[in-house]
């Protein structure tokens, strides 16, 4: 049996998030945070978060199967609640508010590591104390 662990980093993209997956020895959050500092996607986007996965192969076939995934780890960010956004009553946030209500999201994370990314905060998600590494423009 062959077992390998991976970490997938998510960065803001044009229509969907950019993803970069790298092998990692174990599901180690600190190591993944250091690895995030080395990731740069198109237009200079850097990761807002990551998720671990484990893939297994019986050693006989070429294909492997994903057998386990972790919760999502946010690389910093500000948690905001539905109530806070409703109280602001900012017309610029009308779509955000509508999406939150329509999808049943009571909390979101706003992350500004590179390009602003706003996403729902899952019940098992973790917002890490993370400061994005400053990079020179490319």
pLDDT in tens, 48-88: 999 999 999 877 777 888 999 999 999 999 999 999 999 99
pLDDT band at 135 (very low <50, low <70, confident <90, very high): low
- Residue whose structure tokens are 């939150």: 100
Q: Which of 84, 86, 56, 81 is nearest to 68 (CA)?
A: 56
Beta-carbon count within 10 A of 43 CB:
13
Domain ranges (residues) in the chain: 2-127
Q: Which helix (H) or strand (E) holds 75?
A: strand 65-75
Q: What is the pLDDT of residue 136?
A: 55
The mean predicted confidence, pLDDT, of the chain is: 93
Evaluate if pTM is beyond 0.75. Answer: yes
């Amino acid at each position: 049996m062959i077992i390998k662990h991976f970490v997938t980093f998510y960065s803001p993209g044009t229509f969907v998030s950019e993803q970069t997956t790298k092998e990692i020895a174990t599901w180690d959050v600190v190591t993944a945070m250091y690895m995030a500092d080395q990731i740069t996607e198109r237009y200079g986007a850097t990761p807002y978060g990551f998720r671990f996965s484990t893939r297994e192969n019986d050693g006989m076939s070429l294909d492997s199967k994903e057998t386990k995934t972790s919760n999502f780890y946010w690389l910093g960010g500000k948690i905001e609640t539905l109530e806070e956004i409703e109280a602001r009553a900012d017309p610029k946030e009308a779509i955000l508010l509508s999406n939150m209500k329509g999808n049943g999201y009571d909390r979101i994370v706003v992350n500004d590591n590179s390009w602003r990314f706003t996403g729902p905060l899952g019940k098992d998600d973790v917002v890490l104390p993370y400061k994005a590494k400053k990079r020179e423009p490319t």
